[in-house]
Amino acid sequence: MDPDGNITIKWDFMTNSGDMYMVSVSIYNYQLYRHIERPGWRLGWTWPNDEVIWDMRGAETTNQGNCSKFKGDNIPHCCEKSPTIVDLLPGTPYNMQTKNCCRGGVLSSLTQDRTLAMASFQMSMESANISSPATGKPSNFTLGIPGYTCSNATVVAPSKFQFDKQRTTQALMTWEITCSFSQFRESATPSCCVSLSTFYNSTIVSCPRCSCGCQGEPTLPTCSRQASPYFLRLPNGDGGSTTSPAVLCTPHMCPIRVHWHVKESYREYWRVKVTITNFNMYSNYSDWNLVIQHPNFRSILQIFSFNYLPLVQYGEINDTAMFWGIKHYNDMLIQCGENGNVQTEMLLHKDAADFTFGGGWAFPRRLSFNGHDCVMPPPDSYPTMPNGSSTLSSLVHCVSLVLSSFLLSVVLLLL
């Protein structure tokens, strides 16, 4: 659903004073729907030689390292061989800020807010070998976010900057690193599941059992009755357990459940209700998003209570839509409880060429929450048409014929 999505890191060498360089580092989130939540990115690499960072603006290293070889009051910001860089927090003094910094490492997706999908910082570094492609580049780049792997740094065309309306400047040299995401690298188990229901069948198809784990298995989190409501106890490194994070114990054991309900059918339209429920006892989801794939999304007429944008990635195929909360209204999916859910309804036009309620056509093909694919029920468990009817329209037609015959008989008796 996002074939070209990645996170790109650019190192722009702005000035060169002998062995001292001023570098501007920018992190671009080029993913349509996958964003970076708190605690945010933690950019890391390994220096090839004895490079040091003398000063930083817009970010900081987590450790200074051993700078004992430097004498006097002028001590570098970081002397570590493998530094870890973190974003500064909101409210940082202005003299420590740079453009696009100081959001605690949070990056929006391109679709939700393009202006918040990048971060940057500046650093003054010292290196005698930085100009050598063979020995000068750092290696082992990491984002510090589960699921992401990063390439090596490669030399690309120097970045250009608009100085004013008439003048453009450019970096002395630019390196580029590309980081890609894999859900399988992030976690061995999913984190969300899907349940289904309809107005024409009283059966509610629940999330598949053990979608995100099973209760009682020694290799997976287990449940405990030590708190009310029940909560999930996660094993820690010393063989004990911790109660944070905690997920409400359910047959599916997922932190997030998405429920798709076919609510109503009209002559030319049909209505669907989507509810996202948070089963995490202690964690909120800020700036959440939901991506759904369904062939009728090309005919969406109206969305209630959510923001919406189609994700058209393959020619004119418009079967994928992204939904997210309205700012200061429901953009925060709060922890499990009475208000731990958000919901929307959507009105869709019935396309005569392929619309049907039979064969599971009315249900989504794929869903993802915050960029994580959700576990769908098996197709043979989907709610079926009553009495084996292939389409709801045929059922309605039969009912209307019976009613018409009954009314005609009543009229004849009255006459």
366 with 325: CB under 8 angstroms? no
Mean pLDDT over 363-385 rounds to 94
Within-domain flag for 28: yes
CA-CA distances (angstroms) from residue 167 to 12, 39, 122, 161, 164? 18, 39, 22, 9, 5
pLDDT higher at 236 or 98: 98
Q: What is the pLDDT of residue 320?
A: 94
Give residue-wise pLDDT tens across range 14-64.
998 888 899 999 999 999 999 999 899 999 999 998 899 999 999 999 999
Q: What is the pLDDT of residue 353?
A: 86
The three-class DSSP label of residue 317 is strand
Residue 127 has pLDDT above 90, yes or no: no
Whole-angstrom Cα distance, residue 28 to residue 327?
Answer: 23
Mean pLDDT over 291-309 rounds to 95
Question: Are 45 and 73 found together in one domain?
Answer: yes
Q: What is the pLDDT of residue 157?
A: 95
Within-domain flag for 403: no
Give residue-wise pLDDT tens across range 87-97.
999 999 999 99
pLDDT band, very low/low/confident/very high, at 247 (cuts 50, 70, 90): confident
Mean pLDDT over 239-257 rounds to 73
Tell me the pLDDT of the chain averaged across its residues.
Answer: 85
Of 136, 164, 185, the residue at which a domain comes to its end is: 185
Question: Are 274 and 356 found together in one domain?
Answer: yes
Question: Are 214 and 92 found together in one domain?
Answer: no
- Structural domains of the chain, count: 2
Bridge partners (DSSP) listed for residue 177 = 9
Question: Are 49 and 122 found together in one domain?
Answer: yes
Among 176-180, 247-251, 257-261, 382-386, name the one with the lowest average pLDDT: 382-386
Within-domain flag for 282: yes
Question: Are 172 and 60 found together in one domain?
Answer: yes
Question: Are 135 and 204 found together in one domain?
Answer: no
Residue 382 has pLDDT above 60, yes or no: yes
Residues constituting the chain: 415
Within-domain flag for 209: yes
Within-domain flag for 287: yes
Question: Are 107 and 15 found together in one domain?
Answer: yes
CA-CA distances (angstroms) from residue 19 to 31, 50, 53, 263? 36, 12, 12, 68
Q: What is the pLDDT of residue 387?
A: 59
Question: Are 258 and 286 found together in one domain?
Answer: yes
Question: Are 213 and 91 found together in one domain?
Answer: no
| Strand arrangement, sheet containing 341-349 | 192-198, 256-265, 269-278, 341-349, 300-304
pLDDT band, very low/low/confident/very high, at 317 (cuts 50, 70, 90): confident
Within-domain flag for 201: yes
pLDDT band, very low/low/confident/very high, at 128 (cuts 50, 70, 90): low
Q: What is the pLDDT of residue 245?
A: 54
Question: Are 146 and 205 found together in one domain?
Answer: no
Within-domain flag for 143: yes
Nearest to 32 by CA among 330, 255, 321: 321
Query: What is the domain range of residue 201?
Result: 189-219+246-381
Question: Are 331 and 369 found together in one domain?
Answer: yes
Q: Which CATH number is 143's domain given?
A: 2.60.40.290
Q: H-helix or E-strand containing 346?
A: strand 341-349
Within-domain flag for 355: yes
Q: What is the pLDDT of residue 234?
A: 42
Question: Are 351 and 204 found together in one domain?
Answer: yes
Q: What is the pLDDT of residue 255?
A: 94
pLDDT band, very low/low/confident/very high, at 251 (cuts 50, 70, 90): very high
